Amino acid sequence: MYSLTIRREAEADIPAIRELTSRAFVGKPYSKQREAQIVESLRDADALTLSFIVVKGPDVAGHVGAAPVEISDGTPNWYFVGPISVAPEHQGEGVGSLLMERALAELRELGAGGAVALGDPNYYGRFGLANVPDLVYPEYDPQYFMALPLADDAVPTGEVRFPLGFRA
């Protein structure tokens, strides 16, 4: 039985990240199958603030990224956390939790005011992310948009804009 190791991405991990991200989202109702491209676009735009992988034995089992967002009321230091992807054969092994907990801890370390995420509310809710009425991502189904303040309890008001290269 292999244990899980988490570390920052290295250049050699990029093909495995692309491959597992593509496979993880097949058939998900909140996905347009663009996540692998989103990760690459963020990286190319130098906007991938965090990029962690979990390694299990010979496999890259999971990946999470984070990137800065702009909020229309001018609130600084908020981040998008995601996409988070676990290879189908490694789901349910704790990989996703390890990635989310590390990403949120690192964002706190960076002094982030908060995090937003797009995806399954049942999953992100486990980590405190929740739908918020006054912070919106207009191009997206609101039930799949969530936020979590990290510095205090304040949630900004307005629209979230994603970095260059991001189209969910």
Contact positions vs ligand COA (CB under 6 A): 24-25, 28, 82-86, 91-97, 119-120, 122-123, 126
CB of 155 to ligand COA, least distance (A): 20
Q: Which residues contact 12 (CB under 8 A, 6 or more apart)?
A: none
Peptide bond into 133 cis (omega under 30): no
Our CB check for ligand COA shows the closer of 27 and 58 to be 27
Task: Give a three-class secondary structure readout of 55-90.
Answer: EECCEEEEEEEEEEEEECCCCCCEEEEEEEEECHHH
Residue 119 and residue 121: Cα distance in Å, rounded? Answer: 6
Closer Cβ to ligand COA, 97 or 131, answer by number = 97
| Closer by beta carbon to ligand COA, 73 or else 141 | 141
| Residue nearest ligand COA, Cβ-based | 96
Which helix (H) or strand (E) segment holds residue 159: the answer is strand 158-161
Question: What are the tokens at 80?
Answer: 């998008």
Closest distance between ligand COA and the C-beta of residue 21, in Å?
A: 8
CB of 110 to ligand COA, least distance (A): 21
**Which of 73/101 has CB closer to ligand COA?**
101
The CB-of-144 to ligand COA minimum distance in angstroms stands at 8
